[in-house]
A = this chain, B = another copy of it.
Amino acid sequence: MSKRIGLLTSGGDCAGLNAIIRAVVRRAEGYGWQVVGIREGTAGLLDRPVRAEEMSSGIFDGTILRMGGTILGTTNKNDPFAYPDGAGGTIDRSDDVVAGYRELKLDALIGIGGDGSMGILRKLAKKGGWNFVGIPKTIDNDVGSTEISIGHASAVNVAVNALDHLQPTAASHNRVMVLEVMGRDAGHIALSSGIAGGADVILIPEIPYRIEAVARHIERVRQGGRNFALVVVAEAVLTESGEPVRQRHASGGTSYGGIGHYIGDRIAATTESEVRVTVLGHVQRGGMPVSRDRLMASVFGVHAVDLIAQGSFDRMVAWQHRQAVDVPLEQAIEHFKAVEPDGALVRTARGLGISFGDG
């Protein structure tokens, strides 16, 4: 029996979303089903007329797989239970979203999002009686119960690429280069890119640091004969006294742009080094997805549609031990995945002589 499946992307965008969309539409067509693409996450269900359209793989000309961003659009205003009322407060508009779903006569919904979006979508699904399947995406890689979330590998790649660019100029000028990377709550991007990009110091929110230890390590590097150092800082890192760095600019609705400069200032103040700071920002979200994100996006998209075929709902697709699996959505949402301070990558970093500022 033919089905109508809704599909939406929610929360911050990342590389690989379009590859998921493509996989969902192609797999659904294999079943003879119709996919309805909903615009801008739940916002498309909230507005009237509902903003959504039927999709067919005929629209994919071979390039969508390779494109960053999401052709469906997305939004950070993704909580209809607490929707901005335009006056600084919030109102509950979940009824509108539930009604929008009904209007589209959907048999099931696939939502692509991070742990925040996943929690909201699950609440909506409970309320509306939706047949819901989730696909994890987040550049931060902090969604639990899955080894891989879409977008992380590409974000790491952008950060590593930045280090590849900063290393030669650091070496040419005898400088310490500080690179602030994304990671709102977890240090995965900083950790992976720091190792792969040749960092000397990696600061992540999971491991408390002291500037004095950072400075000492940089001096040690210099005494070891190398004339430059690379420092990677996750944006979620706090000041030494545990404060978030205050934002200075009205232009940004986010917290990006602070801690890297703070760390850079402190290193400059406590070492003899010339320091330069780069805040990588939104380039980490966009751009062509790397091979791995495209591959896993394809795996997840196909598996999500298969779950609907099996009547398996309230679940999130996941990757574990070389297999596409699925887990209870509840479990995935609860298991926030921070960097394990004793995990394989931290131990590798320490084994390489990288400092976390705690030595």
Contact = CB atoms under 8 A, between A and B. Distances in A.
Given A164-B66, A322-B147, A348-B299, A171 B251 contact: no
Nearest to A75: B173
A198 B353 contact: no
A274 B251 CA distance: 8
A320 B323 CA distance: 12
Interface in A1-52: 9, 12-13, 15, 17, 23, 26-27, 29-30, 40
Contact of A173 (B13, B147, B158, B198): B13
Interface stretch (A97-105, A125-133, A205-213, A276-284): A276-284
B62 A198 contact: yes
A348 B30 CA distance: 12
Contacts of A252: 264, 275-277
A306 interface: yes
A344 interface: yes
Given A63-B63, A321-B321, A169 B265 contact: no
Contacts of A333: none
A239 to B, nearest CB: 14
Interface in A185-214: 192-193, 195-198
A242 interface: no
Contact of A153 (B227, B291, B348): B291
A95 to B, nearest CB: 25
Contact of A302 (B69, B74, B291, B352): B352
A226 B62 contact: yes
Contacts of A353: 26, 29-30
Given A63-B67, A195-B294, 13 more contacts: A17-B172, A29-B353, A40-B174, A62-B228, A75-B174, A158-B165, A193-B291, A196-B295, A249-B264, A249-B277, A250-B269, A278-B279, A278-B282
8 contacts: A29-B353, A75-B173, A196-B295, A251-B264, A254-B276, A290-B291, A298-B352, A324-B348
